[in-house]
Chains A and B, each alone.
Chain A
C-alpha cells in the first residue's frame, strides 16, 4: 500500500513538472523576458552614463551599484548589441 502511495506521489510530481514545462513555463518565458526588458530599461535610466548618455543623478545611483554589479557587464554588452529591435520583438512572440 505504502509503495503504491509513493509511486502515485512520484507520478503526480512528474505530471506537475511535465505540465509546467510544456504549457506554463513556455508562457512564463514571455513574462520573464518582459520583466528582463523592463529591468534593462531601468538600468539604462540608472546607469546610462556608462553608455555615454549623461545622467544628472549618477551620483545618487552609485548606491545601487553593489546590487547590480554582477549584471552590469552583461547588461552593457546586451545594450551595445541591440541591432535588431524588430527581430528581438519578434522572438518574444515566437516569430523567430
Chain B
C-alpha cells in the first residue's frame, strides 16, 4: 500500500470502478482511505451509488469519498484573496481589482489550477486524517498535465523569484539612506508569497516522484487504442519521474462466454498477449467482463478482492 494511488487511463475503460473497488479493499483491510475524483465530470458517486460532493463524505467504515469541485475551490481561493486585499488597500482599488479577478477566473487553466490546489491540500492531509488516498483521475491527457504541472511551474516560479530578488537588491542599494524603506524591502511580501507557492509545488513534486509514496495504475481494455495510449502515457510519466506500478486489464471476456462473443474473445487474446509483452515489468491484473454494471457496494466488493493483487 502506498500513500497515494492513482488510477488513470482512456475514457470509459473503468477507472472509477477500479479506484472505488481498490479503495474498498484498502478500507476492508483497516486502512483509513479517502477516495478522490479529480475528473471534472465526476462519476464516483454513481459507482458507490451514494451521494458524494465537494465535501468529504463517509461511505463505509474507514472509507471516505470526495469529488473535487473546481468552481467551489476557485471561489474559496478568490474569497481569501479579496479578504486579504481589504486589509491592505483602499476600497476604491478593491472594486477595480475584483474585475481583474473575474477575468483570471474565466481564463483557461483556472479550473486545472484550482483542482491542483485542492490536490496539494489533500496530499498534506495524509498521515493525519487518512493513511491512504486513492485518486480516480480524469482521462489520460488531462491527468498527465495535472501531474507534470509542478515540475513546469516550479521552474517558472523560480525565475520570477530570481527577478524580484534582483529588483529588490537594486532598490536596497538605492535606499541606503532610508532605513524604514530598506527594512520594508527586506521583508518583501511578494517574494514570500512566491516562495510559499514554490514550496507547495516542490512538496507535490516530492510526493509524486517518490515511488514509496505514490504509484500510478493504468486501466485499459484489451483493444488497440487503449494499449497505444497507455504505452505513450507510461513513457511520459516515467520521463517525469512518476512510477507506474501496473496495468489493470478490464472487460476481459471469459472463456465460457458463448459463441456470440467468441470472435471478439479471440481478438482480445491477441491484445492480451501484446499487453503482457509491452508491460512485462509491471503488475498486470485482469478483470473479467461482468454480466451486469458495476454499481453499488455489493458489486464493487466483488472486484475489490481481485484488486488486492495490486499490492502483492
Contacts and interface: CB of A to CB of B under 8 A. Distances in A.
Contacts of B159: 45
B101 A38 contact: no
Interface in B153-207: 153, 156, 159-160, 163-164, 166-168, 170-171, 173-174, 176-177, 189-190, 193-194, 197
Interface in B72-114: 74, 77-78, 81, 84-85, 87-89, 93-94, 96-97, 100-101, 103-105, 107-110, 113-114
A15 to B, nearest CB: 14
A20 B174 CA distance: 11
B81 A69 contact: no
A31 B171 CA distance: 7
Interface residues of B, number: 44
* Majority-rule SS of A interface residues: helix
B103 A64 contact: no
A63 interface: yes
B189 A58 contact: no
A84 interface: no
B101 A65 contact: yes
B96 A73 contact: yes
A70 B100 contact: no
A72 B97 contact: yes
* A interface, size bucket: 35 or more
B interface secondary structure, majority:
helix
A35 to B, nearest CB: 4
A35 B167 contact: yes
A64 B164 CA distance: 12
A57 interface: yes
Contacts of A36: 167
Nearest to A46: B160
A39 interface: yes
B109 A58 contact: yes
Contact of B153 (A35, A47, A57): A57
A39 B160 CA distance: 10
B196 to A, nearest CB: 9
B112 to A, nearest CB: 8
Nearest to A42: B163
29 contacts: A28-B176, A31-B170, A31-B173, A31-B174, A35-B174, A39-B164, A45-B160, A46-B160, A47-B100, A49-B103, A57-B113, A58-B104, A58-B109, A59-B74, A59-B105, A59-B107, A59-B114, A60-B113, A60-B197, A62-B104, A63-B193, A64-B194, A68-B190, A69-B89, A69-B96, A70-B93, A72-B96, A72-B100, A73-B96
Interface of B: 74, 77-78, 81, 84-85, 87-89, 93-94, 96-97, 100-101, 103-105, 107-110, 113-114, 153, 156, 159-160, 163-164, 166-168, 170-171, 173-174, 176-177, 189-190, 193-194, 197
Given A36-B167, A62-B101, A70-B89, 7 more contacts: A28-B176, A32-B171, A38-B167, A42-B164, A45-B163, A63-B193, A67-B189
